[in-house]
Structure 1
Amino acid sequence: MSQFQIHSILTANATAKPLLEGSLKKYGFVPNLHGGLAEAPAALTAYIELTALFDQTSFSPTERQVILLAVSVENHCTYCVAAHSMIAKHMAKADRAIVEALRNGKPLPDSKLEALAGFTRSVVKNRGVVCGQTLDKFITAGYSRAQVLEVLLGVAFKTLSNYTNHIIHAPLDTAFQAEAWEEPAQCSSRQCA
């Protein structure tokens, strides 16, 4: 049971209301993640601004979704995996085989995207301490040093929402239900501290 309220435009405080109104305008509904973040308007503002900044990176829409899904799967965030699976397939027009491989922890059918996903997973797993071989593989695949830092931006942005969902237990929005995700059995042995 969550101790957090998922705010609507009506229940949000005066600072969060216009932010949620912006979410409604952008998505056609207020995602429960945004409603949960509205408890702390500075956190919701950071999430919205990081989203906009990440959208300005040199990555294609599909590459951005590969990063966000790789982070979300690695962080075991059922909400974000579902949301980004839907966004990847329907907004970014990513190949469904790529999305399914990411969701299931399988190699991607595209070697460059596999290098991107592998590098991203390594950043998350190793808390940013990435070995030279992993970095070399990323660069050799055709990515730049600037894109190394852009991956870090994606990891920071998505970690904020993954961790928020772990704590507030945002219910999955109806819009994302078709992509509901359960973490693979080998990952579900996490303990609550």
Structure 2
Amino acid sequence: MSTLPQIEPTGATGEVAELLAEVKKNMGAVPNLVKVMAGSPALLKGWLALSGALSDGVLAPAIRERLAIATAEFNSCEYCLSAHTYVAAKVAKVEATELEAARDAKSADPRAAALLALSDAIIRGHGKVDRTVLADARTAGVTDGEIIEIVGNLALNILTNYLNNVADTDNEWPLVKPRTHS
């Protein structure tokens, strides 16, 4: 049972009702995470803005989903790991072997592997990375724009990981349990 209330769209009023209606229109449903976020319209608006902006960025959906899986695994967020594994498989069409590898910030694809390795180094270093890590990423073809968006995706994913871990959000996704405990 969630430790923070989940605001149902049918009971929402004012700005919260408008935001939840926008989510339902864009996503087809209102995930429980969003229902928790609705407790703070400011946070919900910020999350919608950042996630929308990053979805228009240079990183492909399949990469963003793998980055989210790696971050959720690192932060032991069952909700996000479950949600992003489902979305990666069903929407972004990421193969099962790649879903499993993403949990360890790895990929058989060299480009995806470089992006995941950089993201992993950033999260493990709490934002501090050795210049050789950046040089290795650039040698693998990672652009400055991609480096910046990796940081943005980390911020977005850490936000949802932490909120779900604090709220113990009710998980409506097919369950994927984290292996690690950071």
Which TM bucket (shorter chain)? over 0.9
Runs of 4+ in 1 over 3 A off after TM superposition: none
On the 8 A contact 1:4/1:36 being kept in 2, the answer is yes
SS at match of 2:11: coil
1:12-71 deviation per Cα after TM superposition (whole angstroms, max 9, x unaligned): 342211111112122222100000000001001111111101101111121111222222
SS at match of 1:16: helix
Question: Map of 1:1-193 to 2, 5 A cutoff?
Answer: 2-103=2-103, 105=104, 107-173=106-172, 176-177=173-174, 180-184=175-179, 187-188=180-181
SS at match of 1:57: coil
Q: Distance in 2 between matches of 1:106 and 1:40?
A: 32
1:153-183 deviation per Cα after TM superposition (whole angstroms, max 9, x unaligned): 101111111111011111111xx21xx1212
Please state how far the C-alpha of 1:106 moved relative to its aligned partner.
6.6
More relative contact order, 1 or 2 (CA 8 Å, 6+ apart): 2
Q: Distance in 1 between matches of 2:59 and 2:105?
A: 22
Q: Distance in 2 between matches of 1:182 and 1:101?
A: 15
The AA in structure 2 aligned to 1:168 is A
Q: Distance in 2 between matches of 1:53 and 1:107?
A: 25
Matched residue count: 182
The AA in structure 2 aligned to 1:62 is A
TM-score by length of 1: 0.88
Unaligned ranges ≥5, structure 1: none
Q: Distance in 2 between matches of 1:106 and 1:131?
A: 18
1:131-155 deviation per Cα after TM superposition (whole angstroms, max 9, x unaligned): 1121112111111112111111101
